[in-house]
Chains A and B, each alone.
Chain A
């Protein structure tokens, strides 16, 4: 059982280049998330998708776009990368919020992005 799978694991970009981070989960979860992690700042939510067909902005959405391709896949796109977007990006998934569900997030291994 793979859980949450992210690709690529490492990427180096030049300022202004574009790229897409891919994320897939095999736990039949409804909700998916993209976080970024910077030293000393914990994790900050970029975008999330509560269910297939919906996406919402998180705390730091500027410079990013997302696509919930289907229930399994949630991609994050940087249209014009900037050095400030150098970070480690984590995809996560959870059961849909509500009822008896815990809302616990399950994380992928992370994608380390450097923008020069």
Chain B
């Protein structure tokens, strides 16, 4: 059974600081996704990581994937209040069709 674990579960940080969210998964995967969810809203796709060593950046967010370590990171640079949200990683199991398994989410609060 695939397990996807994120840490930390909750992160409170000051504006301007850097931090990293970690996503560990328990079995071989060939796709990893990062989503953002604002309170009471839907999930918005941030990044799709397709191969080992993949790195993608959008604004103050950068995601990377190490398939050998079964680890993805979401790095936040110089955080701003608008980044406050819950972030989820999701993993597609190799040869398991269209099923994504989600981590429990990291709730990020950026204080002015």
A: residues with CB less than 8 A from B are 31, 33, 35, 40-45, 48, 50, 56, 58-59, 90, 94, 96-97, 102-110
Q: DSSP class of B's interface residues: helix, strand, loop or mixed?
A: strand
Measured between C-beta atoms, what is the minimum distance from B34 to chain A in Å?
11
Measured between C-beta atoms, what is the minimum distance from A49 to chain B in Å?
9
* Residues of chain B with a CB closer than 8 A to A58's CB: 99
Q: What is the bound-complex CA distance between A40 and B60, given in angstroms? A: 26
Measured between C-beta atoms, what is the minimum distance from B6 to chain A in Å?
8
A-B contacts, CB under 8 A, total: 61
With A102-B31, A102-B48, A102-B50 as contacts: A107 and B98 at CB distance below 8 Å = no
Interface size on B, residues (CB 8 A): 23
Q: What is the bound-complex CA distance between A41 and B86, given in angstroms? A: 12
Chain-A contact segment, one of B63-71, B75-83, B100-108 = B100-108
Measured between C-beta atoms, what is the minimum distance from A5 to chain B in Å?
11
Chain B 44-62 interface 0/1 with A at a Cβ cutoff of 8 Å (1 = within)? 1100101000000000000
Selected from A40, A43, A50, A106, the residue in CB contact (under 8 A) with B98 is A50
Q: What is the bound-complex CA distance between A12 and B44, given in angstroms? A: 26
Closest 7 CB pairs of A and B: A42-B102, A43-B102, A42-B104, A97-B98, A107-B43, A102-B48, A107-B42
With A43-B88, A104-B48 as contacts: A90 and B43 at CB distance below 8 Å = yes
With A50-B97, A105-B33 as contacts: A42 and B48 at CB distance below 8 Å = no
Chain B 14-40 interface 0/1 with A at a Cβ cutoff of 8 Å (1 = within)? 000000000000000001010000000
* Residues of chain A with a CB closer than 8 A to B31's CB: 102-103
Measured between C-beta atoms, what is the minimum distance from A37 to chain B in Å?
9
Measured between C-beta atoms, what is the minimum distance from B42 to chain A in Å?
5
Q: Is the pair B104, A105 in contact by a Cβ cutoff of 8 Å?
A: no
Selected from B41, B43, B97, B104, the residue in CB contact (under 8 A) with A40 is B104
Return the chain B residue nearest A35 by Cβ. B102
